[in-house]
Every structure is written in structure tokens, then in C-alpha cells.
């Protein structure tokens, strides 16, 4: 069964550093998403991406964040200058159509020290 | 803005019994989608079941079924014949059907424990 994959599984970085989180969505899916979950809290939407552009973003997704689909398979989330409060689990998801169920990857645990 | 509320932080059930997890939501929209996701200790989010608001028939996936009450804005998940592998955090989620609106809005989650 096709799965969304994410790398790395755990990333530790120092405050102020840039990080890139990588995702490989399910191959025939057209819509891609990033969510985050701060420990003990609910899952929060960051951004959705379709047809090589952002289709929706939340207030959390400020100028420090960017997304890119650099090739036909990868989907990345970049945080330019990490803050302590960016420490969270980051989930990538994809869906076949905009209205279909979203399938999540295993997540990347980001720890900012 | 839409909100999703799960009023049961924790639930427990005996193995092989049936358990129902509650979810309510608030929206002014008439067309939308509702989902239940399972998050086991591995923390991966797994789609359990999906319901379209325009469908009156409740969705069913094997041992998982929902009770969708549109007027009451209620969307509960019933797990029959509970198994040890069902132990996880369960999240209810809402998605608007408006074109261009794709984000899932999640509830706070319910931690389900299965007692052997």
C-alpha cells in the first residue's frame, strides 16, 4: 500500500538555524499539506499546496516558513530561522483530490535548542 | 471559524467490547467533510473513516462506524469488538467543502485505552 514518507524522523537544530523537512507524497496525489503538533496539543494546519503553488495557509505559516516541490516526488518545508517554539512534530500529508481524505506521513520530530 | 470539540480526554474499554468516542463541531456551512484519525504511540496519523455531510447514511469501515447527526453537529465514532491494537489517540477532524479550502481542523483528541 502506498505511503507518505518523511525524512528525517528526528532533527535537532540550534535556534536561528535553517531546517528543511522532506516529504515524499503518494505518487498519484496532487494535493500536499504540512501540519504540526506541539507535544500534548492538537494537530494544527500550516499550509496546503497544489499545482506548484500555495492554495491555503494558516496564521502560523509566516515569512519564516516556505514550501517547495523541487522535483516530481519531493515536497519540502523550510524554516529559515528556527525558534524554540518551532519545536514540534511536523506531519506531511497528501490527497488525491482536494476533497479526498488526507494521508499522513510518520512525522518529523523537530527539536530546537 | 470552524471548531471541533472532543469532550472526552480519555476513554477505556475492555477488549472485545464496544466503545463510542464523541465529537461535536461548530460550523455555519452546509457542506463539509468529517474524519476520524487514529494516532498510535508511533505518532503517525492514520485515517480511520470519512463522512460527507450531504450523505445521510453513516459511514462504516469494518469494526468502525460513525453516528453522524447533522442537525446536532455531532459525529461520534463507534469501535466494535475492540482490540488491543485499537489503543491510540483518536482525533476528530472537519474540512470545509468550499472550493480552495483544504485544511483539516482537528479536535483535542481522545486517548483510548484497551483493557485485556
pLDDT by 10s per residue, chain A, length 113 = 778 999 999 999 999 999 999 999 999 899 999 999 998 888 999 999 998 999 999 999 999 999 999 887 899 999 999 999 999 999 999 998 877 789 999 999 999 99
Number of Cβ pairs closer than 8 Å across A and B?
A: 58
B47 in contact with A, Cβ within 8 Å: yes
- Chain A positions touching B93 (Cβ under 8 A) are 43
Subunit contact B47:A104, Cβ cutoff 8 A: yes
Other CB atoms within 10 A of residue B90 CB: 24
B68 contact partners, CB below 8 Å, separation of at least 6: B34, B51, B53, B58, B59, B74, B75
C-alpha grid cell, residue B36: 476520524
Check CB contact under 8 Å for B91 and A43.
Answer: yes
Contact B105/A45, CB-based, under 8 Å? yes
Average pLDDT score, chain B = 94
Residue B30 clears pLDDT 80, i.e. is over it: yes
To which residue does cell 475492555 refer? B14
Give, as one character, the DSSP assignment of residue A90: E
Amino acid at each position: 500500500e502506498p505511503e507518505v514518507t518523511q525524512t528525517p524522523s528526528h532533527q535537532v537544530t540550534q535556534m536561528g538555524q535553517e531546517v528543511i523537512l522532506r516529504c515524499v507524497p503518494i505518487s498519484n496525489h496532487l494535493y500536499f499539506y504540512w501540519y504540526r503538533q506541539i507535544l500534548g496539543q492538537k494537530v494544527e494546519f500550516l499550509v496546503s499546496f497544489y499545482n506548484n503553488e500555495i492554495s491555503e495557509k494558516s496564521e502560523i505559516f509566516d515569512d519564516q516558513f516556505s514550501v517547495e516541490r523541487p522535483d516530481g516526488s519531493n515536497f519540502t518545508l523550510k524554516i529559515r530561522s528556527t525558534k524554540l517554539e518551532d519545536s514540534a512534530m511536523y506531519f506531511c500529508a497528501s490527497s488525491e483530490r482536494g476533497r479526498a481524505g488526507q494521508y499522513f506521513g510518520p512525522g518529523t520530530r523537530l527539536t530546537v535548542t | 471559524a470552524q471548531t471541533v470539540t472532543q469532550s472526552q480526554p480519555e476513554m477505556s474499554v475492555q477488549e472485545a467490547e464496544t466503545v463510542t468516542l464523541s465529537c461535536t463541531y461548530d460550523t455555519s456551512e452546509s457542506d463539509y467533510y468529517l474524519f476520524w484519525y487514529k494516532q498510535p504511540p508511533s505518532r503517525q496519523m492514520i485515517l480511520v473513516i470519512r463522512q460527507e455531510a450531504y450523505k445521510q447514511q453513516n459511514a462504516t469501515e469494518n469494526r468502525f462506524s460513525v453516528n453522524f447527526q447533522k442537525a446536532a453537529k455531532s459525529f461520534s465514532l463507534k469501535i466494535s469488538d475492540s482490540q488491543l491494537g485499537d489503543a491510540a489517540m483518536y482525533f476528530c477532524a472537519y474540512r470545509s467543502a468550499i472550493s480552495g479550502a483544504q485544511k483539516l481542523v482537528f479536535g483535542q483528541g481522545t486517548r483510548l485505552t484497551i483493557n485485556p
